[in-house]
Amino acid sequence: MTSQPTGATPSRWFTTARLIDLVRTKPDITRAAAAHELGIGSGAATELSARLRRIDLLDEAPAPVHGRGRPTTILRPHPRGPIVIAAELSTNGWRVATADIDGRPTVEASARRLARNPQRVLTDMADAIRTIHARETRRVRAVSVSVAGTVMDDRLVQFTPRGWMDIDLSRVTSELPADVDLPVLVGNDATLAGLAEARTGSASGVGTTLHLIIAVGLGGALIVDGVPAVGAHGGAGEYGHIPFGDPARRCPCGAYGCWDLTVDGRALAALRGDPEPKNALAYGYDLLDRHRTAPDVDETTGPAIRTVAGSLGRGIAGLVNLHDPDVVTLGGLAPPLRAAATAEFDAAYRAGLMSFRKEAPPPVIDGIHGDDGPLHGAALRGIDHITTPEALAEWGDR
């Protein structure tokens, strides 16, 4: 998102930031189309793109020719331009990626399992980040981290599935040279997944979006005009810990009655009489896949799925009554869960809505980024940070 120009930053960098935002939000935009969006003439657009090529911000390629008319070019990130390192720490593993100013992450390193010791995990991630930085020293401008836990003031204050508390995630840059001082941005996975859907996903262009993701528990974000509402300290969006569940049941987070315990793989396992799964997300995916291919294989799976889908729909109705979104997007286990029990989900959703909303309720749609949403969101947040007018001016003066 582009900020307004300030007296300390020349207005040309504000125009540059707007142009880069177009390149990110409208892939393969032509120079002519960008000029139209910016309200500048073709001559000014040519001059601007030439200046940005000289400072390694944007590159151009010939646009496909369609009939007659003056040829134009497609704008794209410069191969020597600024990048961010985007990292994702999930309940079951981690990934480290790079992204240039189009915000599309490319995974460079990963681990499918987490060590028990959080410091070991952070050291492994730091090694991967050091390797990337050594290769792209001149280009890396920030590190942006997504984590499947509660984040406040850029710290992981509670990672319930692992029992980790108060972890300083700035350690992911601890292996960099002492004279390197990269900004480290930390965000909750559901918040960043919502950012990705609002910016480049199924809710692109929508004013107010509610995004919900089921992994181990449920989280989400309210996105208004492309900006997540993160609260006073960054800890907003813990929707799974609203007391929509059994008030007598204690959640591992420490609260009672959490919605979390009624909507994920743990809930499905409990309703089927299975022990609590070590990997609730994988359990949920596997169960839904088996039910899809053999719906009558046993007597417990169908009712369990319908019960959990109903809990999801009912809770979403409550959040719609609270937030008044234009659209609700779903990620993680939520899309296949809803698809497996559409009637129960829809009935619970409509029943929970206030009367005035029932005639035209906000649509509930699947996100397009899937399980990659948090990583995409981390990349986009990092790119936001390094493409402000001030940051671009710093890049141009380097």
pTM (2 decimals)? 0.91
Rounded to 5 degrees, what angle do the CA atoms 304, 308, 311 make? Answer: 145
Separation of alpha carbons 86 and 393, rounded Å: 22
**What is the helix (H) or strand (E) element at residue 165, kind and residue range?**
strand 164-167
pLDDT tens for the 398 residues of the chain, in order: 555 545 556 788 999 999 999 999 888 899 999 999 999 998 998 899 999 999 999 999 887 766 565 667 899 999 999 999 999 999 889 999 999 999 999 999 999 888 888 899 999 999 999 999 999 999 999 999 999 888 887 788 888 777 788 888 889 999 999 999 999 999 999 999 999 999 999 999 999 999 999 999 999 999 999 999 999 888 899 999 999 999 999 998 899 999 999 999 999 999 999 999 989 999 999 999 999 998 877 899 999 999 999 999 999 999 999 999 999 999 999 999 999 999 999 999 999 999 999 999 999 999 999 999 999 999 999 999 999 999 999 999 88
Q: In angstroms, what CA-CA distances link 276 with 92, 108, 114, 216, 284? A: 16, 33, 19, 12, 11
Tell me the domains of the chain and their CATH numbers: 11-77 (1.10.10.10), 83-191+374-396 (3.30.420.40), 205-367 (3.30.420.40)
pLDDT at 301: 95
Q: Looking at the chain, how many residues does it have?
A: 398
For 5, counting Cβ atoms within 10 Å of its Cβ (0-12 exposed, 13-18 middle, 19+ buried), the class is middle
Contact (CB, 8 A) for 380 and 187: no
Q: State the Cα–Cα distance between residues 94 and 172, nearest whole angstrom.
A: 12
State the Cα angle at 151 between 177 and 223, rounded to 5°: 110
Q: What secondary structure letter does DSSP report for 370?
A: G
Distance from C-alpha of 256 to C-alpha of 241, rounded to nearest angstrom: 8
Contact 46, 68 (CB under 8 A): no
Terminal Cα distance for the chain, rounded: 23
Using DSSP, how many helices (H) and how many strands (E) does the chain show? 12, 15
The Cα–Cα gap between 311 and 334 comes to 11
For residues 115 and 134, what is the distance between their CA atoms, to the nearest angstrom? 25
**Given the structure tokens 């799925």, which residue do they identify?**
305
H helix or E strand, kind and range, residue 322: helix 301-323
Nearest in space to 218 (alpha carbons), one of 197, 202, 241, 191: 241
235, 151 Cβ separation under 8 angstroms = yes
- pLDDT reported for residue 69: 59
